[in-house]
Amino acid sequence: MENRQNKWLVSGIIGLLLFIGLAISVSIQSNWLIAIDFKLQTLISSLVSPSLTKFFSLISITGSPVFVIGAAACLILFFTYRRDIYSASFLGLALIGGDALAFIAKEVIQRPRPTQRLVAESGFSFPSGHVIGSTILVIMIFIIIIPKIKSQNLKLITESLAIIWLIIIIFSRVYLRAHFPSDIVGALTLGVSWVSLLQVVYLNHGPLLLSKKRFIHSNK
């Protein structure tokens, strides 16, 4: 248990440091970051076509905060019905807290979105709200859902679909020019860091907050 906690703690600290470093670079408009963003955007722009734009526009909707929170709400209701309050509260806090952190970061850094967007978007650009929500949801699927699946084939299918979905969401946000590539990296590092540190708290204090006799500890 202690070794597992240390791994999550290290992952959380590394992710947080990377996010802070990237956020500072975005704030001061570092030349190296601008150059990388420009090169990657130029490369992806060469792939633009009406059919791909329609496809990624539809896919992007599934990564929107409204869709992700809706999917999470269904899972929370399911876990609550099964009296697995540990998983329900963990999932709810992870997503709500992650979205709140992303919103605060957006308002503090206030990075404008890319120009020539292929879809209408409002608000600031860094970090990507779509990506942080999708990242957290996928991580939580691996933490609290995959361990409950008994069939190895079903586990593999679930893992593969979750990863493929996240990759497509990530690519769609840059393709649609809704975000700079660095916005995506910022969302990934913040999402991983937040869930990792929250996992440490739950591993340490979850059993004390929620009675083992009454509720299922999903990570046991």
Digit-coded pLDDT (tens) for 50-109: 999 999 999 999 999 889 999 999 999 999 888 888 888 889 999 999 999 999 999 999
Which pLDDT score is estimated for 209? Answer: 52
Which pLDDT score is estimated for 214? Answer: 44
Task: Answer yes or no: is 34 within a domain.
Answer: no
CB atoms within 10 A of CB 9: 15
Which pLDDT score is estimated for 219? Answer: 45
Task: Answer yes or no: is 41 within a domain.
Answer: no
Task: Answer yes or no: is 30 within a domain.
Answer: no
For residues 151 and 23, give the distance between their C-alpha atoms in angstroms, rounded to a whole number: 41
Digit-coded pLDDT (tens) for 10-25: 999 999 999 999 999 9
Task: Answer yes or no: is 214 within a domain.
Answer: no
Which pLDDT score is estimated for 89? Answer: 87
The packing angle between helices 181-209 and 2-27, to 10°, is: 150
Task: Answer yes or no: is 121 within a domain.
Answer: yes
Torsion sign, CA atoms 157, 162, 166, 172: positive
Q: Are 64 and 178 in contact (CB under 8 A)?
A: no
Using the structure block, give the residue that is written with the tokens 């999917």.
71
Higher per-residue pLDDT: 191 or 207: 191
The residue segments making up the domain with residue 98 are 2-25+48-209
Task: Answer yes or no: is 73 within a domain.
Answer: yes
Q: Give how many domains the chain has, as a whole number.
A: 1
Q: Are 68 and 133 in contact (CB under 8 A)?
A: yes
Digit-coded pLDDT (tens) for 142-152: 999 999 888 99
For residues 151 and 81, give the distance between their C-alpha atoms in angstroms, rounded to a whole number: 22
Q: Across residues 38-53, what is the average pLDDT?
A: 93
Task: Answer yes or no: is 136 within a domain.
Answer: yes
Q: N- to C-terminal Cα distance for the chain?
A: 10
Q: Residue 123's pLDDT band (boundaries 50, 70, 90)?
A: confident
Q: Are 126 and 117 in contact (CB under 8 A)?
A: no
Q: Are 94 and 135 in contact (CB under 8 A)?
A: no
Task: Answer yes or no: is 31 within a domain.
Answer: no
**Measured at the alpha carbon of residue 86, what is the angle toward residues 81 and 92, in degrees to the nearest 5?**
80
Q: Across residues 28-50, what is the average pLDDT?
A: 93
